Copies of this chain bind each other. A is one copy, B any other.
Amino acid sequence: MKNWLLLLLCWGAWLSGQAQEAPATTTDEDAFYIRRIYDKALTDSRCYSWLEYLTTRIGGRLSGSPQAAASVEYTRWVLDTIGFDTVWLQPCMVPHWVRGDAEQVRVVNSRKMGSLELRALALGNSVGTGPAGLTAEVIEVNHLDDLEKLGRSRLEGKIVFFNRPFDPTHINTFAAYGGAVDQRAYGAARAARFGAVGVLVRSMTSRLDDVPHTGSLAYEEGTPRIPAFGISTNDAELLSSLLKEEPVRVYMRSTCMHMGEALSYNVIAEMRGSERPGDIILVGGHLDSWDVSGGAHDDGAGCVQSMEVLRLLKTMGYKPKRTLRCVLFMNEENGLMGGRTYISESNKAREYHMAAIESDRGGFTPRGFTCEGDATVFEAKFKKLAQWMSLLEPYGLRLSKGGSGADIGGLKSQKGLLIGFEPDSQRYFDFHHAPTDNFDSVNKRELELGAAAMTALVYLLDKYGLD
């Protein structure tokens, strides 16, 4: 027994013995300061309680909704109380789409199952079916290009069911998402070209469960706008198996609609730089979410982490050389109007974002950062960043080339470095755009480690610059 307990006691010690060496270009002071950032983030953070408020007291924050307005007021208030140099709201017009009644989607003619409800959510931006709903035969396809092969003769008056699953062999689940999301984004527009009257899309997750996922679609100019729904992966499997046996007719009803545009805001807080205030370092996430959950991983987590970055530095007494800006973007989910407005205003003001970091891949354990930028400057800046890796590796972080974030992507023309915070991706699409994306799906330590990782990078960016 004793030997065994001794083993167990030593185990923790062994595991924690990771080397931490400062690189030639930076100093021991940096390693020490980054350690202080982590200590502070793990013992005295606010982000988890902010997230609780945002996701449980306010809830789903769809652009134009009362909850979105509440989230603007709440985060502005929080940022105001921390005492940054400036906190302001940047107005932007956003599309105001509402879901309406609970969706109904059901198989109406199955000999085997009788009337069978499918768990469904209208896709964002979708038109409604009208109050009477509609009934039509279902045609299953796996690719947008299958539509052309089937042609109008087979598709006219039908409901097209897109059922290509995530490819589970991708290690990074965002690659699987990228390989399937064309069905959700463009399925309705493409099916409408051939006279289809509605669309069902298999939910964007590799998980087999009963949870339907929503998410945006885009219509085409000049083709009819037809209603589209996401259905759960279990129901997609079931529907597909029914279709192998008999023709299937589905009734679908939704009353979602566009309410025009609404005034909303990006929420911005700034610590002004003492030496190079014209060099802006942005950290941000998006404040809006879908309406069907608390929007915890997408993207409450990214917002509270970004707020935490500035709070940690402020409360540690850090005086930035460069201007640090926390931006909570509105309307990433169904229009990107917050991001577009921000960039347009920034360009008008001839600002220079030396670096921008977006956190919009969930509040999971940090794995590192992915970077992109204008081709004429990218390699030099990435190389500079890579020199700091030995300071970040002890915290399980790596740097790689890759996408940054939807809201900040347009800043590329300012020729700074665009950086995406990269948490572990395995569980993200269990929750993404689904009614399960709630506060209880976020782990406090994982969230805090993300805030610490972003803060450490902001510290290095501010101290050493990229130019």
Contact = CB atoms under 8 A, between A and B. Distances in A.
Contacts of A170: 16
A14 B402 contact: yes
A173 B400 CA distance: 26
Q: How many A residues touch the partner, as a band?
A: 35 or more
A321 B233 CA distance: 42
B426 A16 contact: no
B207 A444 contact: yes
Contacts of A114: none
Interface string A167-178: 011111111111
Contacts of A174: 11-12, 15-16
Contacts of A12: 172, 174-179, 181
A206 interface: yes
Contacts of A1: 125, 216, 218, 335-336
A365 B17 CA distance: 21
The count of identical subunits is 2
Given A9-B182, A16-B174, A168 B42 contact: yes
Given A43-B168, A218-B1, A409 B16 contact: no
Interface in A409-428: 409, 422, 424-427
Interface in A30-61: 38-39, 42-43
A227 to B, nearest CB: 17
Interface string A373-417: 000000000000000000000111000111100100100000000
A206 B448 CA distance: 13
A331 to B, nearest CB: 10
Contacts of A111: none
A368 B222 CA distance: 53
A446 interface: yes
Nearest to A394: B171
A193 interface: no
A171 B10 contact: no
A288 interface: no
B443 A16 contact: no
A409 B13 contact: no
A181 B403 CA distance: 42
A185 B16 contact: no
A372 interface: yes
A175 B446 contact: no
Contacts of A42: 168-169
A17 B401 contact: yes
Contacts of A445: 168, 173, 206, 426-427
Contact of A169 (B39, B171, B181): B39
A449 interface: yes
A446 B400 CA distance: 22
B449 A5 contact: no
B38 A8 contact: no
A137 interface: no
Contact of A15 (B3, B8, B175): B175
A14 B372 contact: yes
Given A15-B174, A178-B13, A426-B449, A5 B218 contact: yes
Given A5-B218, A9-B178, A182-B9, A427 B403 contact: no
A112 interface: no
Interface in A181-211: 181-182, 185-186, 206-207
A18 interface: yes
Nearest to A361: B15
5 contacts: A11-B403, A14-B370, A15-B172, A16-B171, A16-B174
Q: Kindly list the 7 A-B residue pairs having the minimum CB-CB distance in the complex, ordered from nearest.
A: A12-B178, A16-B175, A14-B403, A4-B336, A14-B402, A11-B403, A15-B174
